[in-house]
Amino acid sequence: MLFFFTYGIEKTPIDMADFMVKCPSCETDQWAEIMLYSVYSHVYYIPLFPHEKDAMVVCKKCGLRRYAVPFNAKLISNYAEVKQLYRHKWFTYIGAAIIALPFVLWIILAALGY
Ligand SMILES: [Zn+2]
């Protein structure tokens, strides 16, 4: 029997913004254009769950482009303030919601006494 199991990692853009980041080329803090991505696993192209955010960083001074830079406190100094502004896209949780649904129904039915 042939069985195709398609899964992998996908990315979807979240937002674009300007941040002050340390540029490895300029070796100083510079304004950079950042394109943020939500990285998620998928099975048969259905998103399972998001696991991290990464960024494409373009230095505004020297033009250095960096791809798949982890979006964390190492990249952005005020990360703690801004991380709330950039959330994973809702659809990247679809798989987790589908998996959780029977359990949620079971808990509700159990609570109702069925
Ligand atoms: Zn630079």
Residue 3 — pLDDT band, cuts 50, 70, 90? low
pTM as predicted: 0.80
Among 35, 36, 25, residue whose Cα is nearest residue 61: 25
What average pLDDT does this structure show over 72-80? Answer: 90
Q: Distance, CA 47 to ligand 1 centroid (Å)?
A: 35
CA–centroid distance, 69 to ligand 1, in Å, is 15
Is residue 65 helix, strand or coil?
A: strand
Is residue 104 very low, low, confident or very high in pLDDT (cuts 50, 70, 90)? very high
Distance 25 CA to ligand 1 centre (A): 5
The alpha carbon of 98 and the centre of ligand 1 are apart by a number of angstroms equal to 44
34 CA distance to ligand 1 centroid (A)? 13
Ligand 1 geometric centre to CA of 102 (Å): 50
Strands 46-59 and 29-43: antiparallel
Q: How confident is the model at residue 36, as a pLDDT?
A: 96
- Is there a contact between 20 and 11 (Cβ–Cβ < 8 Å)? no
Task: Tell me whether residue 71 is exposed, middle or buried, using C-beta atoms within 10 angstroms of its C-beta: 0 to 12, 13 to 18, 19 or more.
Answer: buried
Residues 99/105, Cβ–Cβ less than 8 Å: no
Residue range 48-55: mean pLDDT, rounded:
94
- List pLDDT tens digits, range 83-92: 889 999 999 9
Rounded CA-CA distance 55/76 in Å is: 11
